[in-house]
């Protein structure tokens, strides 16, 4: 009986408050389903059943005593392997950190704990977030619940697969260039990358600091609104975090239709290079949004053509620097070789980092190196300004922008891993919002003829995460794509 594991986070909280079931039973249902399905899916890298059941029991006890329950009380949550939790392993999908245990807890995990969430376990990911298929995990790929030979996308592929397969209702992800939105799209669920700075990055193992956003994956927009209110807010431990308004969940139901909402369709992101079925599904969904009252307009983001190059130069430059701390001195994998300290550092890094990570470190080192710095990193930061200005112009007349999340639906495992460039080009639709720090959400909008899910992406002006979620919620009240599940 898996009914409890099928519940949304909002339904769990409502049910607990009404006394319909116990938090312990919800967690047990999720743990049972993990035991049943995860050996095939490989969504999880580590589970903590005892701790999770103890958390759930504490919620039940508080509930019995009539104490007020937190916003996510009793909701089992998985987290991507790049968030640190005191005493637990946080490996970021890397051999380098395979045995690393953090002495402190990420701000977002603290917020979840404080809201009563039950922390289930950590999910698989491309090493340090560098990949779009979860194949770059040092611990083997995750499989897509919609097809065992398909990638779940990445880098938050483990979290996406776990939520899609109903192993848990909610999972943390991180999104640097689409790592929440793309796997959400490929797994037929809803994923939110909030405005940059809205959710603290403290305790998120860095890939690219100016792009990394803490995000979440769920089966409904409503659950993401619930999560966002818990997770967001100014954090003194993150100098790039920003103050913001809460109450997103409370205002979610304010809107019954989309009248008065103007949605722009940037032609650069809605035409060239898209899979036909992806393009058609997005067109149909846009039509549906119009039926719900939205006004659709064509628009243009001229500099988006350079977004992939801009993104990869900035992201890898920052990554080369962020990953310099893995030197075998204080923690992490260490290879002592005869001779000097320098040789130890080189041997440790060459052993601990996988192929894709090494490639990106080299690319980023190149982008910053003497003689190339201005032409590559410098040029990319200026192109980023032009792209930001494109968005500012467009949002002067549009409330939201719409395009597919990924140019193609879930692709077979092994089909792109040896061709980094083709993998990078898959990010073309998600990196623009990342570069501009804008909130963006992916949700199911249709299916390919062979049944693979297709996602559409909405982008909003900075700090309009609330509008993004309201519109997604209205759409989900009037469509059923998000309700279709891959596995019995």
CA dist list (Å): 395 to 244, 287, 404: 20, 21, 18
Residues numbered 420-459 forming contacts with other proteins, rule: CB under 8 A: 420-421, 424-425, 434-437
Q: Is 80 annotated in the active site? A: yes
* 276: contact with other proteins by CB under 8 A: no
- The minimum distance between CB 233 and other proteins, in angstroms, equals 13
Q: Which C-beta is closer to other proteins: that of 297 or that of 324? A: 324
Using the rule CB under 8 A, is 36 a contact of other proteins? no
Query: What is the C-alpha to C-alpha distance for residues 144 and 201, in angstroms, rounded to an integer?
Result: 27
Question: Please, which residue, 233 or 293, has the CB nearer to other proteins?
Answer: 233
Query: How many chain residues are in contact with other proteins, going by CB under 8 A?
Result: 104
Q: Residue 422 region, left (φ>0) first, then alpha (ψ -120 to 50), else beta? A: alpha
β-bridge mates for residue 401, sequence order: 264, 459
Please list the residues that pair with 172 across neighbouring strands: 79, 216
Residue 133 makes contact with other proteins by CB under 8 A:
no
Check residue 98 for interaction with other proteins (CB under 8 A). no
How many Å apart are CA 329 and CA 267, to the nearest integer? Answer: 50
Q: Is 155 a catalytic residue?
A: yes
Cβ density class 361-377: b for 16+ within 10 Å, e for less: bebbbbbbeeeeeeebb
Whether 179 is catalytic is: yes
Per the residue annotation, which of 5, 80, 133, 156 is the catalytic one?
Answer: 80
Q: CA distances (Å), 103 to each of 44, 91, 124, 331, in order?
A: 21, 13, 21, 12
- For residues 38 and 390, which CB has a smaller minimum distance to other proteins in the complex? 390
Distance between CA atoms of residues 200 and 426, nearest Å: 27
- Binders of other proteins among 65-94, rule CB under 8 A? 82-84, 90, 92
Q: Is 207 in the site for other proteins (CB under 8 A)?
A: no
Q: Which of 202, 249, 395, 475 binds other proteins (CB under 8 A)?
A: 202
Q: Considering only 11-19, 50-58, 315-323, 477-485, which stretch makes contact with other proteins by CB under 8 A?
A: 315-323
User: Which residue, 61 or 234, has its beta carbon nearer to other proteins?
Assistant: 234
Judged by CB under 8 A, the chain residues 140 through 199 that form the site for other proteins are 196-197
Catalytic residue among 155, 156, 159, 442: 155
Measured distance CA(451)–CA(55) in Å, rounded: 38
**Does residue number 211 form part of the binding site for other proteins (CB under 8 A)?**
yes
Beta strands 440-447 and 190-193, pairing class: antiparallel
The residue from 5, 102, 179, 200 that is catalytic is 179
Nearest to 222 by CA among 199, 183, 267, 189: 189
* Residue 62 vs 368, nearer CB to other proteins: 368
- Should residue 345 be labelled a site residue for other proteins when binding is judged by CB under 8 A? yes
Site map (CB under 8 A) of other proteins, residues 354-383, x = contact: ----xx-xxx-xx-xxx-xx-xxxxxxxxx
Which range of residues in 13-21, 218-226, 285-293, 385-393 is near other proteins by CB under 8 A? Answer: 385-393
Phi/psi at 295 (5° precision): -100, 130
Return the DSSP state at 204: B
Please, are residues 205 and 128 in contact by the beta-carbon 8 Å criterion?
A: yes
Q: How far apart are CA 375 and CA 340, in angstroms?
A: 35
How many Å apart are CA 138 and CA 98, to the nearest integer? 9
Select the residue interacting with other proteins from 95, 110, 181, 306 (CB under 8 A).
306
Under the binding rule (CB under 8 A), the answer on residue 396 touching other proteins is no
* Shortest Cβ 268–other proteins spacing (Å): 14
Least Å from the CB of residue 369 to other proteins: 6
45 touching other proteins, by CB under 8 A: no
How far is residue 237's CA from residue 350's CA, in Å, rounded to a whole number? 32
* Binds other proteins by CB under 8 A, chosen from 327, 390, 427, 466: 327
Angle at 74 between CA 73 and CA 76, to 5 degrees: 120
CB of 384 to other proteins, least distance (A): 4
Residue 304 beta carbon to other proteins: minimum distance, rounded to whole angstroms = 12
**Catalytic site residues?**
80, 155, 179
């Amino acid at each position: 009986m898996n009914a409890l594991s099928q519940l949304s986070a909002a339904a769990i909280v409502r049910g607990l408050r009404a006394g319909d079931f116990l938090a312990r039973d919800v967690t047990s249902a999720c743990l049972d389903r993990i035991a049943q399905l995860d050996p095939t899916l490989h969504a999880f890298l580590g589970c903590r059943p005892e701790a999770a059941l103890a958390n759930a029991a504490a919620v039940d006890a508080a509930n019995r005593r009539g104490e007020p329950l937190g916003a996510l009380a009793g909701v089992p949550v998985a987290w991507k392997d790049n968030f640190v939790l005191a005493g637990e392993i946080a490996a970021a999908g890397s051999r380098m950190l395979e045995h690393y245990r953090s002495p402190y807890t990420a701000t977002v995990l603290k917020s979840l704990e404080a809201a009563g969430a039950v922390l289930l376990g950590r999910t698989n990911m491309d090493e340090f977030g560098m990949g779009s298929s979860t194949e770059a995990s040092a611990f083997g790929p995750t499989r897509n619940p919609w097809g065992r030979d398909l990638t779940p996308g990445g880098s938050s592929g483990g979290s996406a697969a776990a939520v899609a397969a109903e192993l848990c209702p909610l999972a943390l992800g991180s999104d640097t260039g689409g790592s929440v939105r793309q796997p959400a799209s490929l797994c037929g669920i809803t994923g939110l990358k909030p405005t940059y700075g809205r959710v603290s990055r403290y305790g998120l193992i860095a890939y690219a600091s100016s792009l990394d956003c803490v995000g979440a994956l769920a089966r409904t927009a409503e659950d993401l609104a619930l999560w966002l209110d818990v997770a967001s807010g100014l954090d003194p431990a993150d100098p790039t975090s920003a103050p913001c308004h809460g109450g997103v969940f409370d205002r979610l139901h304010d809107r019954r239709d989309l009248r008065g909402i103007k949605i722009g369709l940037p032609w650069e992101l809605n035409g060239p290079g898209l899979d036909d079925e992806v393009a058609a599904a997005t067109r149909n969904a846009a039509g549906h949004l119009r039926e719900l009252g939205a006004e659709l307009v064509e628009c243009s983001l001229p500099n988006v053509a350079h977004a992939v190059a801009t993104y990869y130069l900035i992201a890898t430059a920052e990554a080369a620097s962020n990953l310099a701390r893995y030197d075998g001195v204080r923690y992490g994998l260490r290879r002592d070789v005869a001779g000097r300290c320098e040789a130890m550092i080189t041997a440790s890094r060459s052993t601990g980092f996988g192929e894709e990570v090494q490639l990106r470190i080299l690319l980023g080192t190149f982008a910053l190196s003497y003689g190339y710095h201005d032409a590559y990193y410098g040029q990319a930061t200026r192109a980023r300004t032009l792209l930001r200005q494109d968005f500012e112009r467009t949002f002067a007349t549009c409330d939201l922008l719409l395009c597919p999340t990924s140019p193609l639906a879930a692709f077979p495992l092994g089909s792109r891993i040896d061709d980094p460039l083709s993998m990078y080009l898959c990010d073309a639709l998600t990196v623009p919002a990342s570069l501009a720090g804008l909130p963006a959400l992916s949700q199911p909008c249709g299916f390919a003829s062979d049944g693979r899910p297709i996602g559409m992406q909405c982008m909003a002006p900075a700090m309009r995460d609330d509008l993004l979620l309201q519109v997604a919620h209205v759409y989900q009240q009037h469509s059923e794509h998000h309700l279709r599940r891959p596995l019995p």
